[in-house]
Amino acid sequence: MRVRRSLLDLDDLSASDLHYILDYAGRIEASPDSRTLDGVACANLFFEQSTRTFASFNLAQLRLGAHVVNLSPKDLSLATKGETIEDTVITLAAMGFSVLVVRHGEAGFPGRVARAFDGHVVNAGDGGRAHPTQALLDLYTLRAEFGALAGRRVAIVGDIAHSRVAHSLIHGIRRLEGQVTLVGPQAFVTQADAGDGVSISRDFDAVLKEVDAVVLLRIQHERFDKMPLTMDEYTRNFQLNAQRLATMRKHAIILHPGPYNRGVELDESVLSYAGWRYARQVAAGVPIRMAVLDFLVHGKR
Ligand code: NCD
């Protein structure tokens, strides 16, 4: 019988699973020829736009030797012919698909898919809730830089409230025993986000001088109606710019899940900063997704 192992959020993974995936991704990165999903049928179902996540899942599947079908949601029968998502995925399972990668604007949607589908489901982002593979590649990048995260402090800056990336990453950093400081205006970071090992600050300048890594986020305008502060207020207080870069610790690095908006959460000087790790993160996306797919299909080995 097939084990229906899925990845819906990082809390599906124990600390040991998490280390296993990160280590395995490291081995794949060193030697990428690993066709362990030879002939396994994977379908990608992206109801929301995506560049990095979609392309890297595709490349990961192809590198593993999988058979890949990209379904365009607007062309599916569920769009106009009244078929439910549950009946759609039951149909895909009957056809022989073993893996579904799902992105959707509704929190919990990949969970619904996982309950109906006799196979493995990977959440590629659901609403503002979770984005586990992004968090894994962020953790991979942090680990590559610092080794263990225990005793390291990471600032996550900006629109935490609407960021599935932040929600999964906070969880992952804590699992690896790092400390998190959330920085942003009241409307984007509330006291309720604080917790064990997770502090809140409104003072970006003070936090910048102390942290080992800064994760910048895009303002997710598509997830709310009205910007709660002016852009000028936002950039004055929370944009990482040349002046602020100069105050960072020498070893500190900067991450961004992308897409980034120049002139909003960062200015051009960040893009040429020695500690800017965006390209490293994007590169890690392929081996991380290969490792996740292999882990879901084959388990630890
Ligand atoms: C993000 C997403 O879609 O959740 N990007 C990504 O997957 N790398 C973040 C965003 O849209 O700002």
Query: pLDDT tens, 15-51?
Result: 999 999 999 999 999 987 789 999 999 999 999 999 9
Residue 2 CA to ligand 1 center (angstroms) comes to 31
Residue 257 CA to ligand 1 center (angstroms) comes to 6
Residue 53 CA to ligand 1 center (angstroms) comes to 8
Instruction: Return the ligand 1 atom nearest residue 53 CA.
Output: 7
Residue 258 CA to ligand 1 center (angstroms) comes to 6
> Ligand 1 atom 8: the closest Cα is on which residue?
257
Does the beta carbon of 165 sit less than 6 angstroms from any atom of ligand 1?
A: yes
Residue 218 CA to ligand 1 center (angstroms) comes to 8
Does the beta carbon of 218 sit less than 6 angstroms from any atom of ligand 1?
A: yes
Residue 179: its pLDDT value, please?
98
Residue 2: its pLDDT value, please?
47
Q: Indicate the top mutation candidate among 48, 52, 134 to test ligand 1's pocket, ranked by most ligand atoms within 8 A of CB.
A: 134
The strand pair at 41-46 and 198-201 is best described as unpaired
Does the beta carbon of 52 sit less than 6 angstroms from any atom of ligand 1?
A: yes
- Alpha carbon distance 130, 132 (integer Å): 6
Residue 3: its pLDDT value, please?
52
Does the beta carbon of 53 sit less than 6 angstroms from any atom of ligand 1?
A: yes
Residue ranges, the chain, pLDDT below 50: 1-2
Residue 1 CA to ligand 1 center (angstroms) comes to 35
For the whole model, what pTM was predicted? Answer: 0.96
Instruction: Return the ligand 1 atom nearest residue 124 CA.
Output: 7
Does the beta carbon of 129 sit less than 6 angstroms from any atom of ligand 1?
A: no
Does the beta carbon of 131 sit less than 6 angstroms from any atom of ligand 1?
A: yes
Does the beta carbon of 164 sit less than 6 angstroms from any atom of ligand 1?
A: yes
Instruction: Return the ligand 1 atom nearest residue 52 CA.
Output: 8
